[in-house]
Amino acid sequence: MKQKDIEPGRRTGRPLSFDRDLALRRAMLVFWRHGYETTSLSDLTAAMGVTPPSIYTAFGDKKHLFLEAVGLYLSGPVTSETIITEAESARDAAAGLLRAAAIGFTGADTPSGCLLASSAISCSAAASDVQSELADIRKGIETQLRHRISADIRAAKLARSADAEALAAHVMAVIQGMSTLARDGAPRKKLMRIASTAMAAWPAST
């Protein structure tokens, strides 16, 4: 009988022969580069160094592996949420997000572009749930930024005429567009100049 109720500190059975975190990270990199549906199980087994049955016992099916990879992608010391909440102003939050995108989309040791913005943009009807799950994450980030902008407007740190929804949506559009530019080979310097240009659309701080 399975003892799924005792999760922390598994004591019995054959131990895992591979590094689960490392395998997940390798899976994330493959999904990042080739997308969700367009990455095959054989691509994953080759990159992870793990046989199919081990993948399924460790991660469930392909969908769960991908979603866990997305979770890994969004984790880390610096996230969009920390950038937004820890910035001193909504303007700094927007500039910080744009700057982080320019850097994160052109890493030397990672694929170009953004996993969140590229891995499940177009997919078959069978993957519409995964697609909408990523869409919800994107919308969540936009909502956080919009609320941050609205707060600055209420606090009179931004002009009352400022359009929180449009400013937040513009930043999100630029970030996701930067992902495609990066995939097309744009260097970090170019993305940085896009970020600067995008911030020129902001009203002056009051």
Q: For binding to a second copy (CB under 8 A), which residues are involved? A: 33-40, 43, 113, 117-125, 127, 135, 138-139, 163, 165-167, 169-170, 172-178, 180-181, 183-186, 190, 193-194, 196-202
Contacts of 59 (CB under 8 A, 6+ apart): 24, 27, 65, 68
Give the span between the Cα atoms of 46 and 35, in whole angstroms: 16
Ranges within 31-60 binding DNA (CB under 7 A): 37, 39-43, 50-54, 56-58
Give me the residue label for tokens 């170009």.
112
103, interface contact from a second copy, DNA, none, CB < 5-8 Å by kind: none
Shortest Cβ 158–DNA spacing (Å): 46
Give the span between the Cα atoms of 66 and 36, in whole angstroms: 7
**Residue 205 forms beta bridges with which residues?**
158
Where are the extended beta strands (E) located within 21-92?
Answer: none
47, interface contact from a second copy, DNA, none, CB < 5-8 Å by kind: none
3, interface contact from a second copy, DNA, none, CB < 5-8 Å by kind: DNA
> Which of 8, 11, 75, 161 is the binder for DNA (CB under 7 A)?
11
105 and 32 in contact (C-beta within 8 Å)? no
Shortest Cβ 53–DNA spacing (Å): 3
Give the residue with the Cβ less far from a second copy, 38 or 79: 38
Ranges within 62-121 binding DNA (CB under 7 A): 62-63
Q: Taking CB under 7 A as the rule, does residue 22 contact DNA?
A: no
Give the span between the Cα atoms of 165 and 150, in whole angstroms: 9
Angle at 157 between CA 154 and CA 161, to 5 degrees: 65
DSSP per position, 132-196: HHHHHHHHHHHHHHHHHHHHHHHTTSB-TT--HHHHHHHHHHHHHHHHHHHHTT--HHHHHHHHH
Give the residue with the Cβ less far from a second copy, 20 or 34: 34
Q: Taking CB under 7 A as the rule, does residue 2 contact DNA?
A: yes
Q: Taking CB under 7 A as the rule, does residue 8 contact DNA?
A: no
Contact residues: DNA, CB under 7 A: 1-3, 10-18, 37, 39-43, 50-54, 56-58, 61-63
